[in-house]
Amino acid sequence: MIVVASWLEQSMTRGILTSRYPKEAASDDEVPPTGRPPLPVGGPAPGPRARDSCPVGAISDTEVDQGKCIRCARCVAAGLTFTGPVEAATRSRSDLMRLSDGPAPSPGSPPPLASLGRSLHVFLVDVGSCNACNLEVLALANPYYDAQRLGIFFTNSPRHADVLLVVGVPTPEMVEPLRRAYEALPGPKAVVAVGACPISGGAFAGVRDLAPSLEGIVPVDVFLPGCPPPPVAILDALLKLNGRDRAARGGR
């Protein structure tokens, strides 16, 4: 608490401080209490009480599907805690069930996309979000997170982008505009699904008319759980694309 106050004070009086992430691990201030994936305390199996506590069916008797989790904290009373890695993004959908094994990707997980190069040009597409994900993505451009220092640039048009950041649950009205935006990317290109909404529908899972996930519409290269994921997690998800993330740099 004291730490944040002094962070703000310093930034006000001496110019803005910039996040040390990913050179250093994410600080406590950068990770909200619900910013990490919930995991069963003391063992891999959540059990039936936890299963019944979850409003979106993210918990089965044996595992937690982070792609569905909306971080509502209802399972905390049934023995789960938000202790998973803040770097929760995975290259495959099924790895989102295995975050309790630690942040290392599973053996079958695809490697980084060498074709993307060191800098990423990112275009944000909202296909039906609540705005929180949009705002967390936009925060990367502000001087505190300063994504530019990591070679991440936001573009004004999909034509100048190689990465599509998709937020929200795909509504029928947005399916075509999304497809067109994807096709406008010149390539090589990649898609990041930001938040529970595009991965599984999140809080809107099962609502009539809405697409069950982004995967049926465009190919997805990185899955980033959270509702919304904090800015550092979005940075990590982007850096996982070109292999410049904290884990790849040897950080933990």
Under the rule (CB under 8 A), what is the footprint of other proteins? Answer: 1, 4-5, 8-9, 11-12, 15-16, 29, 32-35, 55, 70-74, 76-77, 124-136, 138-139, 142-144, 156-158, 168-169, 171, 173-174, 177, 181, 203-204, 207-210, 227-228, 230
Q: How far is the CB of 250 from other proteins (least distance, A)?
A: 28
Report the C-alpha gap between 119 and 117 in whole angstroms: 6
Strands 222-224 and 190-194: parallel
Question: Distance between CA 236 and CA 232 in Å, rounded?
Answer: 6
Question: Of 112 and 158, which has the nearer Cβ to other proteins?
Answer: 158
Beta bridge partners of 191: 164
38 binds, among ligand SF4, other proteins, none (CB under 5 to 8 A by kind): ligand SF4
Of 48-56, 85-93, 149-157, 239-247, the segment contacting ligand SF4 by CB under 6 A is 48-56
Residue with tokens 């009205």: 173
- 138 counts as binding ligand SF4 under rule CB under 6 A: no
Minimal distance in Å, beta carbon 61 to ligand SF4?
13
Closest approach, Cβ 17 to other proteins, in A, equals: 8
49 to 68: interface string for ligand SF4, x by CB under 6 A:
----xx-x-xx----x----
Alpha helix (H) ranges present in 54-165?
132-139
Report yes or no: 170 and 204 within 8 Å, Cβ to Cβ. no
| Rounded CA separation 170/199 (Å) | 10
The strand pair at 120-126 and 152-154 is best described as parallel
- Give which of 69, 71, 70, 63 is closest to 97, Cα–Cα: 63
Nearest to 22 by CA among 95, 103, 117: 103
Answer yes or no whether residue 166 interacts with ligand SF4 by CB under 6 A.
no
Residue 171 binds which entry of ligand SF4, other proteins, none, CB below 5-8 Å type-dependent: other proteins
Q: How far is it, in rounded angstroms, from Cα 10 to Cα 19?
A: 13
Chain residues in the site for ligand SF4 (CB under 6 A): 38, 53-54, 56, 58-59, 64, 69-75, 80, 129-130, 132-133, 167-168, 195-197, 202-203, 227-228
